Chain A
């Protein structure tokens, strides 16, 4: 297969949760090196789309297509999708008591790159670099994954994972929620640093403020399970200014 310009393509994706359709035909085409943002009010189906694409067992994709780097995403389970280079930054990261951050990350790196000595050596160095980048203390490595973490720490850990795993396609689900402005800047720096020139990023967010620091190439507005408007970065500013109501007419 030729290395196409598109890294992530979804076509007419429909998603059901507990028998209810929450995503009603969404298509996206993300080219290498691009960052896209999906904005929209609560309950518009943004997170459902993200979870379904990552392979969450409670979200079933009932129809549509999804390709990552030319490979059919929908034929793979969650593990396979991750190994194919997909990464989901969780809106509500889960606690894994008793498992240290270092152990967790090492396990994930091993799953992806094998457990060779060279891989592990690189991992250790890499991890320390990323700690610096995200301004987290060394003690982070020995804390249990998300156990007793503040909201901001959880989001930093998500981006720390992204920066260590270097996914070809990252979907970041409301990574900006719950962050103060300093933390937002740090997390944004992490995202910009980790975004691959040959990969893509899909930012899911309520608010425009993240997009001041992570500049999107395209902005899409999702309402009621559908993308109702797409445009350049200026669309985000317009939403910040005018809210979502003006789009309701279009959506109906």
Chain B
């Protein structure tokens, strides 16, 4: 971990920042860019361009009605939520006509962007498949042949709907219906892109699949939709990353992600969210774990202006397990309202929630959690640990944990802590020759270690580097 930590001589020497590294934008040479604003015509246009079946087009129109009728949530960061101007957003941009199967098929400027973000390199080194979404569409997609032969399906969601309508129709919106919340309704109306994955019974996809989401245009709305189904006894690890250019006005990212873990299967879903500080990231993520299945959300939130996201697991089969491990980094003018939800609806189920947040420079991190244990979920285990680290006196951390335990014989562990980087710890480390910046970083890297150790090594290194960047200028 420290290999990247001290590549530079302390935090203040780090020259590059988000603007150079991720915050650049490309000229827009798009195949299709509709007008701003949202109405039934826009929804119809999206569905027609995608040549969708009637049931999906109807689903979209109904979802738009729900979106228009539903009030804005009255919790979270209502000030920012109420300031969203839905008429000032592009709901659908199709950058190129045909999706690339090799990077050479992708326009030079888009390929360069993903090169700068390191995607082709990661693909070569340690991924079994890559999906690269730019604005509303997946512009590049690759997947290892031998996995295809074993019957594993990894496609962008639109292709999934076209090529496997029977599976999509069965599971799409089955755990996050359009009326779940205002932003799920919005996504349901205008969704585009995202991933569709099906792993057949007994297949172990040993190498991770990754999707990378890039927003380029100003006032963009990105609404990808992801559906992962792990059939009996199968295993899959999916990773997503995201970045965007820095603009002075807000863009909206509102995804819906549904995971279905059938009997005895395992799904891990890892997110490294590094949106620019003008993105509102309002995402609904939910999963069901059937008998003896395991679902793990590993959720890292570094970027965005506001994130509201609470990955959820329904433990519906006996012996199902769920784990949600999250970190949130809230810097200047950022609010990370993140958390976790677990519903125990079957006996002998177990769950563990570990939430870590770091606030600095006036940033605000909130943990919002719900654990519900239904009466029939006897002999279940619940563990919740929330840890908040405040770097300075102007930053803020809030915890909103809710537990509703209605079953007998449930073992519950719950811990919540708020700490500051202690002067004594800093002195201990500086007395060994580390600068204060280095000492602070080491303490922070240690604090999030339970998270980084769960990431593939390359991502752990990247995450520490991101935190190093975010910490820049926090001292002195």
Contact = CB atoms under 8 A, between A and B. Distances in A.
Interface residues of A, number: 33
Contact of B427 (A57, A98, A103): A57
Interface string A54-83: 111110000000000000000001110111
Contact of B430 (A78, A110, A144): A78
B418 to A, nearest CB: 15
Interface in A89-146: 90, 93-94, 96-99, 103-104, 106-108, 110-112, 115, 144-145
A175 to B, nearest CB: 15
A222 interface: no
Contacts of B1: 103
Contact of A93 (B422, B428, B442): B428
Interface stretch (B20-28, B120-128, B143-151, B433-441): B433-441
Contact of A99 (B423, B431, B449): B449
A121 B430 CA distance: 23
Q: Interface on chain B toward A: helix, strand, loop, or mixed SS?
A: helix
Nearest to B437: A79
Interface in B98-141: none
B2 A79 contact: no
User: What range describes how many residues of B lie at the interface?
Assistant: 20 to 34
Contacts of A22: none
A176 B33 CA distance: 73
B21 to A, nearest CB: 22
Nearest to A54: B431
Contacts of A57: 423, 427
Contact of B442 (A54, A58, A96): A96
B97 interface: no
A120 to B, nearest CB: 10
Nearest to A94: B428
A88 interface: yes
B29 interface: no
Interface in A27-62: 54-58
B432 interface: yes
Interface in B358-382: none
Given A57-B423, A103-B1, A115 B6 contact: yes
A172 interface: no
B436 A79 contact: yes
Nearest to A109: B433
Contact of B428 (A96, A97, A107, A165): A96
A205 interface: no
A117 B304 CA distance: 38
B436 to A, nearest CB: 7
B424 interface: yes
Given A97-B446, A98-B445, A98-B450, A103 B2 contact: yes
A99 B442 CA distance: 7
Nearest to A81: B431
Nearest to A51: B427
A237 B422 CA distance: 40
A97 B448 CA distance: 9
B434 A79 contact: yes
B461 to A, nearest CB: 13
B459 interface: no
B5 to A, nearest CB: 7
Contacts of A112: 433
A55 B443 contact: no
A48 to B, nearest CB: 14
Contacts of B6: 107, 110-111, 115
Nearest to A56: B427
Contacts of B7: 115
Contacts of A115: 6-7
A55 B432 CA distance: 11
A161 interface: yes
Contact of A90 (B2, B428, B433, B445): B428
Given A58-B423, A103-B2, A88 B434 contact: no
B57 to A, nearest CB: 50
Contacts of B442: 96, 99, 103-104, 107
A90 B443 CA distance: 18
Contacts of B434: 79, 107-108, 111
Given A99-B443, A103-B1, A108 B423 contact: no
A195 B434 CA distance: 22
A145 B436 CA distance: 18
A223 to B, nearest CB: 26
Given A57-B423, A94-B422, A94-B424, 5 more contacts: A54-B431, A56-B431, A82-B432, A98-B450, A165-B432
Interface of B: 1-2, 5-7, 422-425, 427-436, 438, 442-443, 445-450
Ranked nearest first, the 9 interchain pairs of A and B with the lowest CB-CB distance are A98-B446, A98-B449, A99-B446, A82-B433, A111-B433, A108-B432, A78-B430, A94-B428, A79-B430
12 contacts: A56-B427, A57-B427, A79-B434, A82-B433, A94-B428, A98-B446, A103-B2, A104-B442, A107-B442, A110-B2, A110-B6, A111-B435
Interface of A: 54-58, 77-79, 81-83, 87-88, 90, 93-94, 96-99, 103-104, 106-108, 110-112, 115, 144-145, 161, 165
